[in-house]
Structure 1
């Protein structure tokens, strides 16, 4: 039996970074689990006295297909390339002749939102970094 997965991304400012990832993935804020009416209530239920997190963001794919994404606040800086990265696949539905155009449009949108281009592999993919430096690919 296959299991579902969720992804956790360490970052300094989860709620700010969540806006970038909602744009990148077409995701929405994940509502709190029942019986909670707010995320704050849910967090308060599970917070420990030594928990130093004061920010977090929970996102989900509104179509229910993609994994959930939890942006988790950490205090330590990012020191090296992460070993797992996301591939934001935007061109799969496009006709072959338009795929690179679709990729370039998404890259431009994400640069406008604070991302940066790390490397370009024409007609295949673009390596990017989000506003906190986490690498991902647009293809």
Structure 2
């Protein structure tokens, strides 16, 4: 169809959230473009001010199955309940310790 779906989150600190969500969903922080060792290197080469280096980031699924999660910095603080959110279902159908492999899950 030629359309890719991504879920976009407005936030104050994309860099912090992208690390959490990459771990939570088993994804990968989107790597920098070819030819650059880091996003900081790429953004500096493109003339992006340092103050904008943490203005956006993304989590990708290395297998290409799930949508990209995109985090963009916005200036206004959160003032109301989010209308869209992600729910993570951990081991659907399992109960207790078998859900996480630890005894604390009941």
Which category of TM-score, normalised to the shorter sequence, fits these structures? 0.5 to 0.7
Measured in 1, the distance between the counterparts of 2:22 and 2:79 equals 25
Count of matched residue pairs? 98
**2:9 is paired with a residue of what secondary structure?**
strand
Other-structure match for 2:73: 73
Measured in 1, the distance between the counterparts of 2:87 and 2:62 equals 18
Q: List, as ranges, runs of 4+ consecutive aligned residues in structure 1 with deviation greater than 3 Å.
A: 42-47
- Which structure shows the higher strand fraction? 1
**Higher normalized contact order (CA 8 Å, seq sep 6+, divided by chain length):** 2
Gaps spanning 5+ residues in structure 2: where? none
Gaps spanning 5+ residues in structure 1: where? 109-139
Using the TM superposition, give the Cα deviation of residue 76 of structure 1 relative to its aligned residue in structure 2, in angstroms. Answer: 0.9
Using the TM superposition, give the Cα deviation of residue 25 of structure 1 relative to its aligned residue in structure 2, in angstroms. Answer: 0.9
Please report the RMSD computed on the Cα atoms of aligned residues, expressed in angstroms: 3.1
Measured in 2, the distance between the counterparts of 1:46 and 1:3 equals 30
Other-structure match for 1:59: 59
* TM-score normalised by the chain length of structure 2: 0.68
- What pairs with 1:87-106 in structure 2 (closer than 5 Å)? 87-92=87-92, 96=93, 98-99=94-95, 101=97, 102=99
Contact 2:43 2:53 survives alignment (8 Å): no
Using the TM superposition, give the Cα deviation of residue 70 of structure 1 relative to its aligned residue in structure 2, in angstroms. Answer: 1.6
